[in-house]
Structure 1
Amino acid sequence: MKPSHLALALLTTALWGFNFVMIRIGLEAGLPPLLMAALRFVVVAIPAFWLPRPRISLGRMLALGAFLFVGQFALLFTGMAAGMPPGLASVTQQSQAFLTALIAALVLRERPSGRAIAGMGIAFAGLALISTTVGTGGVTMAGLLLCLAGAASWAVGNVLLRGAGPPGVGALAFMTWLGMVPILPLFALSLVVEGPAAIGQAMANLNLPGILAILYVAILATSVGYGIWGFLMARYPATTVAPFALLVPITGALSATLVTGESFGPVRLAGMALILVGLCVTAVRWPPRKAAA
């Protein structure tokens, strides 16, 4: 990989990792989680006016948008508002990799490899360790379960994406058009769950941190991040680019520590380490051993 492209890959992982900190900043600025998620996709969908439409059926687009965006981010944002610190959220969200393999095995009858099974076992041991720390450091069981449910929704979306076929457009155009799907559902959920009074108060008192948080998660984390990712995927094998996603939990935890002062403790650090080890076992393709002469 060229040095400039390596820098782009590292930039993307940093943008995605810091995304969790900006979500926390938006929530602390007074934005209700579902409203914040809806506003994010209003900004994400703006370029759809000049970007080409993906060659995917309307039904498949709606299903993908429902799971990849509505379910994932409604649950993630609500989970973080309910008591899930940003650094820990960035790690637990990566359980989508193992949940994707599990759902694909159940729905698509894909038999997971021994490596995938081992990786899932290690990662779930890490999640079990993290669950023992509920009630300390600002973590609640509701926050943990909601974030894991968001990861499960992401995993369902991944399985749907595998059956959709090539979209015929770049990653930026694809994500932009998908971003049109969750706008109305998320606004409707916000209206029902959070209420018109909370929405009106949040919009009337929208401040600079809230605006910056929305712009960051929409433009930098989504449009720029996925645009760079698609650019790299088009030029290098997936096995070269995909492992960089393993850095997202690390950049997320590091940025949360530096910006919000989040601390983890030995048990939680051990759980996070097990999740990352499980990801490496599953996703990293080690070079084959040379046959003996």
Structure 2
Amino acid sequence: MSSSSAPFSTRDLASALAVVLIWGTNFVAMKIGLRDLTPFQLGAARYLFAVLPLILVVRPPKLPVKWIVAYGLCQGVGQFGLLFLSLKVGMSASLASVILQTQVFFTALFGFVLLRERASRALKGGLLLAAVGLVCFGMNYVEPGHAGGTTAGGFVLTLMAAAMWAASNIVVRRAQQATPEFDVVGFMVWCSLVPILPFIGLSLAFDDPATRWHWTGAPWTTWAAIAYLGWMATILGYAMWTRLLKRHPVNRVAPFSLGVPVVGISAGMLLLGDVVTGWQWAGIALIVLSLMCTMFGGRWLDRRG
């Protein structure tokens, strides 16, 4: 049976729900790790844990090194470096899980500019809803004391992290176009090597010298958070997601990603005591609605037509 017609098996459904749970709760793990580590230290530790088991058995992908370096810098240093900074300076785990989803729209914008891709009516509607949602988030910073435990700096850094995620998506598309037999697993593993040295260099350059060896005395919860980020969120999560994309069309797998912000908000509120303001709830609703419009709007418009 072809992948386009194969139904979701119980195993596939369990894998999809597991990925949603892992990726939704990994924002809580980031917050826990940042209690004892700086953002740059956490970045280096995450990717060290991610590559150490697999780099010994997974062969390098057969494609130009420039794509590996570009993706490692955009996704590793760019996306997660900025995300860790945002969580450190003033962004809650709950809202980070939602705002980061704007990468869908940054990807569309970069695709239009760099790859000459056309924007559908559904995507244009989603972009409009997302823009209004971001305005709602921004309203929290108009009046001091009503930011819901976040800062304007944290909000901007999270948006920048989403933009870097989008840039890494463009790199993957270009790498796939240039490589007939694109090995996703090998690509992800070897790209994870790239951010380690830059993160170490950034830590040496900008972190307080007193914190450089602080990780040696970190509690077990910090190490558990690092292991969760490296092994569960990076290796297991991407492996299961990639398997689903190989077995089923993207339009049947992608909607599960809508569950990530739902889990992220719930986990942040229950485990970390995150507080969500009225404006933020409005922004969350609009961002989720914009994603639904982008994913399902095209089919709805086609049926009406």
Q: Could you report, residue by residue, the CA deviation over 1:208-259 in whole angstroms, capped at 9, with x for unpaired residues?
A: 1110110001111110000101111111111111111111111111111111
Match in the other structure for 1:7: 14
Partner of 1:174: 187
Separation (CA, whole Å) in 1 of partners of 2:91 and 2:63: 35
Mapping 1:29-68, distance limit 5 Å: 30-46=36-52, 47-68=54-75
Q: What is the percentage of aligned positions where both structures have the same residue?
A: 36
Maintained 8 Å contact 1:54/1:167? no
1:141-156 aligned within 5 A = 141-156=152-167
1:137–1:264 contact (8 Å) kept in structure 2? yes
Q: What's 2:4 paired with? A: none
Does residue 289 (structure 1) correspond to residue 303 (structure 2)? The answer is yes
User: 1:105 and 2:112 equivalent?
Assistant: yes
- Tell whether the 8 Å contact from 1:52 to 1:169 is kept in structure 2 after alignment: no
Q: Which runs of 5+ in 1 are unaligned?
A: none
Indicate the residue corresponding to 1:273 in structure 2.
Answer: 285
Return the alpha-carbon distance in structure 2 between the equivalents of residues 195 and 180 of structure 1: 25
Matched, 1:264 2:276: yes
The verdict on how the C-alpha distance between 1:21 and 1:108 changes in structure 2, with shifts beyond 3 A counting, is same
- What CA distance in whole angstroms lies between the structure 2 residues aligned with 1:8 and 1:113? 30
Match of 1:117 among 120, 124, 131: 124
User: SS at 1:109's partner residue?
Assistant: coil
Cα distance in structure 1, aligned partners of 2:290 and 2:98: 12
TM-score normalised over the length of structure 1: 0.94
Give the whole-Å Cα distance in 1 for the aligned partners of 2:287 and 2:121: 17
Pair 1:83–1:286, CA change in 2 (3 A): same
Structure 2: where are the runs of 5+ without partners?
A: 1-7
SS of structure 2 residue aligned to 1:234: helix
- Measured in 2, the distance between the counterparts of 1:137 and 1:167 equals 48
Matched residues in 1 for 2:233 and 2:200: separation?
21
Matches within 5 A, 1:74-113: 74-113=81-120
**Whole-Å Cα distance in 1 between the matches of residues 182 and 273 of structure 2?**
41
Query: Structure 2 vs 1, CA of residues 48 and 168 (structure 1 numbering), >3 Å: closer, same or farther?
Result: farther
Cα drift, residue 170 of structure 1: 5.1
Distance 1:169 1:107, change over 3 A: closer
Letter in 1 for 2:49: V
Pick closer, same or farther for the CA change 1:290–1:125 going to 2, 3 Å.
closer
Mapping 1:213-228, distance limit 5 Å: 213-228=225-240
Q: Give the partner amino acid of 1:43.
A: F
Using structure 2 for the length normalisation, give the TM-score: 0.91
| Corresponding letter in the other structure for 2:122 | R
Which residue of structure 1 lines up, in the alignment, with residue 24 of structure 2? Answer: 17
Q: Please give the alpha-carbon distance, in whole angstroms, between the structure 2 residues aligned to 1:290 and 1:272.
A: 28
User: What is the CA distance between 1:290 and its match in structure 2?
Assistant: 7.9
How big is the alpha-carbon RMSD for the aligned residues of Structure 1 and Structure 2? Answer: 1.6
Distance in structure 2 (CA, Å) of the matches to 1:222 and 1:181:
14
